[in-house]
Structure 1
Amino acid sequence: MLNKKRSTLETKIEVSLAENKSVAESKLETGIGFFDHMLTLFSFHSDLYLEVKAKGDLEVDYHHTVEDVGIVLGQLIRELYLNKPSYQRYGFFYLPMDESLARVVLDLSGRPHLSFEAQFSKEKIGLFDVELIEEFFNAVAMNSRMTLHIDLLKSGNAHHEAEAIFKAFARSLKIALTDVEGGIPSSKGVIE
């Protein structure tokens, strides 16, 4: 089990991550119901155990909490793949959620990049600003040092759009983390 804490004047974040979800049922306490729901879906579809305890300045807005959870989760994803003797490295997945369709392609390369192409049908899902979804994935990509391409190909219901993205990301990551033989998956012999 990997654990990391981050404490700033805006947030206090504790995240635990384990490759085998059968460790226990994930526990998510961010204070943001919709975000907890998305993280639950991520945990289920990635087969990663995830525990998040976050206290943030929610009276300001959700931005700091969502971004800082992404920072810490990204750091733990990086630690997870760098500690593996070998892994698939690349992952991609198309995922439909009723009328919505998302595609996520990623590379656990040590080279951080986010390409995020999503036009959501609404600006908010309940009280949650959909622009925070891109902020979350930017924090994950930069701190895990992964190349991450997220495309919302078909839209309709904003909740379904977000759900398709989180599930497709989870499935792509699960593929990329799959154990394979042959050592470090780079012709350079190293991923930094």
Structure 2
Amino acid sequence: MRTATLRRDTSETRISVSVNLDGTGQYDIHTGVGFFDHMLEQLARHSLIDVTLHCDGDLHIDQHHTVEDSALALGSAVAQALGDKRGIRRYADALSPMDETLTRVALDISGRPWLVWKTAFTQTRLGEMDTELFQHWFHSFAQTAGITLHVETLYGDNNHHIAESAYKGLARALREAIEIDPRKVGVIPSTKGTL
């Protein structure tokens, strides 16, 4: 089983996270930010990664530390569960439609973190969540997961749909990229021999 469990405790947040990359998309997520929980639940459900994530953050200040540190912890857990990445497909992309919105996500589990973000919001908040934090979440997740990640909303008007299509697109691309390729079992998918 490709699993990982870790804790991340700072003066700003206390986080426990567990992942099972070969799961069924079960989740138990509590961050104190309702819309953010909804997005992480979409990520788990559509990637088929089982995710348990509990965060006790300094929400009396704002949501920044909770969102950022949850991304850092989740990305670290995914990287730990991937190990040396033997046998994975490595590359994947997904088009994620949600009503009038279409988002494209492409990724490479490269060990070279990068984010290209071409998504914008016309509202400053969705529910309780500051929309400026979505880009920061994707950046922080890509950093610790070691993923080259491109997210582009091709079109869309509804801010809820734009956010959700980005998370679902990431989920569907991640699901494919972490799968074991039956033609390359045990092989690191790089001519360098390491990722």
Find the aligned partners of 1:149 and 1:85 in 2 and give their Cα distance.
23
2:188 is aligned to 184
CA distance in 1, matches of 2:19, 2:139: 19
SS in 2 for 1:50: strand
- What does the per-residue CA deviation read over 1:150-189, in whole Å, with 9 as the maximum and x for residues that have no partner? 1111121111100000000000001101111320100111
CA distance in 1, matches of 2:56, 2:117: 27
Match of 1:141 in 2: 142
1:127 Cα offset (Å): 1.9
Note the residue ranges of structure 2 that are not aligned, 5 or more in a row.
Answer: none
Partner of 2:162: 161
Matches of 1:178 and 1:25 in 2, distance apart?
A: 17
**Cα deviations across residues 44-93 of structure 1 (Å, max 9, x unaligned)?**
10000000110000011111000000001111111122254310000100
Are 1:41 and 2:42 matched, yes or no?
yes
TM-score (norm 1): 0.95
The yes-or-no answer on 1:109 pairing with 2:110 is yes
1:77 — aligned with what?
78
Paired amino acid for 2:193: G
The superposition leaves residues 85-138 of structure 1 with CA deviations (integer Å, 9 ceiling, x where unpaired) of 310000100101101111100000010111111111312112211111111111
1:12 aligns with 2:14: yes
Task: Kindly provide the amino acid, as one letter, of the partner of residue 71 in structure 1.
Answer: L
Which amino acid in structure 2 is aligned with residue 124 of structure 1? R
Q: Distance in 2 between matches of 1:81 and 1:21?
A: 13
Letter in 1 for 2:30: E
Does structure 2 retain, via aligned residues, the 8 Å contact 1:121–1:155?
no
Alignment coverage as a number of residue pairs: 190
Question: Is 1:94 the counterpart of 2:113 in the alignment?
Answer: no
Shift of 1:144: 1.0
CA RMSD of aligned residues (A): 1.2
- The gaps in structure 1 that reach 5 residues or longer are none
Matches within 5 A, 1:13-28: 13-22=15-24, 25-28=26-29
CA distance in 2, matches of 1:19, 1:83: 14
Q: What is the one-letter code of the residue matched to 1:120?
A: F
Q: Bigger CA drift: 10-19 or 177-186?
A: 177-186
What is the Cα deviation at residue 2 of structure 1?
1.0
Q: Is the 8 A contact 2:104 2:169 kept in 1?
A: yes
Q: TM-score of the superposition, structure 2-length normalised? A: 0.94
